[in-house]
A and B are shown apart, each in its own frame.
Chain A
Amino acid sequence: MNPLIQLKNITFKAQNKTILDIPEFQINAGEFLGIMGPNGAGKSTLLKVVSFLEQQTSGEILYLGQVIPIGNAPIELRRKFSIALQQSLLLDGTVFHNIAIGLTLRKISKAVINEKVEYWMELFGISHLAKKNALYLSGGEAQRVNLARAMIVEPEILFLDEPFSALDFPTKIKLMEDFKGIIETAQTTAVYVSHDLMEINYLTNRLAIIVNGEVKQSGPTPRVLEHPNSSTSSFLNEWKKFYPLAR
């Protein structure tokens, strides 16, 4: 295993309540890691902490074996990561402008930006939207722009927080299919937070289950889903009633 990011004794507290308490956790290069758990388990907080968007209360985060001081991740490090959330949160401007923004912020030359935006719009099938205002898109279109915006910077790790959950079912299926192909071709390491077993099962190859801020079980996705332990079975079995596993 080749850990990109390691967490050691991480806690996160808000208003004296412990949201996260994780003695040991890591993200490996090349994996598609799922983080699953019931609502309020601390999944989203974990995502923000490992992507250096929020600072942990205590503990260490290591990037390639090197300790990154709390709340002091250099901008160069943050720029190695991308994030796509449930809401697309696009800016008032064209689709082109929205997708380009990560590169614009990194002061990439115009020619390169044009080329890359064309490429990623093509991949996500949104080239025809380039000149439209991003605020007037449908939910599916907006989420495609959101994902293209995150992918265009070719992140070392792509963090995703339920990016498909607000979409209607057919749109979701189509986008997930496209997305899976894109991420496999680009060989991007991805961390995927969701409470949806179907999505997790379809996309991820390793899975960590979080309950009450603690990682209760982790391992290859099929194995975890098939053999829940005593702490995770009640949560997973609820899901399995609706989604008989077929992989």
Chain B
Amino acid sequence: MSSSVLYDAPGPKARVRNRIYTVLGSLAVLGLIAFTLYRMNVKGQLEPEVWNIFNNAGVRTSIRDGVVTTLKVFAVAGVLSLVLGLLLAVARLSEHKTVRWAATGFIELFRAIPLLITIYALWFLFLTYKNGLGVVGDNTAFWALVIGLTVYNGCVQAEVIRAGVNAVPRGQVEAAYALGLRKSQVMTMLLLPQAVRSMLPTMISQLVVTLKDTSLGYIITYSELLFAARTMASNIIVNGENPITAVVIVVGAIYVALCLALAGLATWIERRGRRAKTGIAVAAATEPSVVDGTD
């Protein structure tokens, strides 16, 4: 760990002091937890009846349905955003000025606009022209959410993939052209495979963001996990009030578990890629933070 350099290996005095701090710190953390539990108890949130609702089959079903719906949105939006990301990355690296400019404009615009704004505008648009839209019209909130997520995350994925393509040594491209490969062959057989392989951890970390952002469906009243849970909580009355606290804690735990699992996958792939001797260096499993295309 890099931090150990910030302080010396403790001597006898420092050990005593650290021990005192450890006790004080533990007490503070425990105190915080105890205070939270105490307040919850005072407000009747720890009563057995409140938590007993999770033994109810209906409650379980609606939470399960919520998880399934969230995962469905995530799966569709995740796959579509990766496809869009690939297309936009290729378009942005194109030799044709118009294609390159169009892709750049699209990426810069939709990355700068809050996702919620896009989703809400799409939802409103779909609701307005509901009848003429066929499949989309039947499930406006779903498609608004999916397309909004796809557009935004596709733009971010495009930037990530482009960074990967740019990391491939120039000599490889020249060698490929010298062998007589076409432009499309160089892209599909040489650049993209290496870019995707090296950027996979970062791309999965962006998928974690996609997963978290599916919760924006709550705002356009789409019944993903958060909205389903909230609706359910407001339909149940235990001890004279809605068990929102309990439901929020459970739903929060589900989200954290899902995101941690996905982030764990990213870290695992990163570590696995680091062991390999071939190819370009694997990127870190962190969320991409490219602000503007200056990199």
Whether chains A and B associate is no
- Which of B's residues lie within 8 Å of A, judged by CB? none
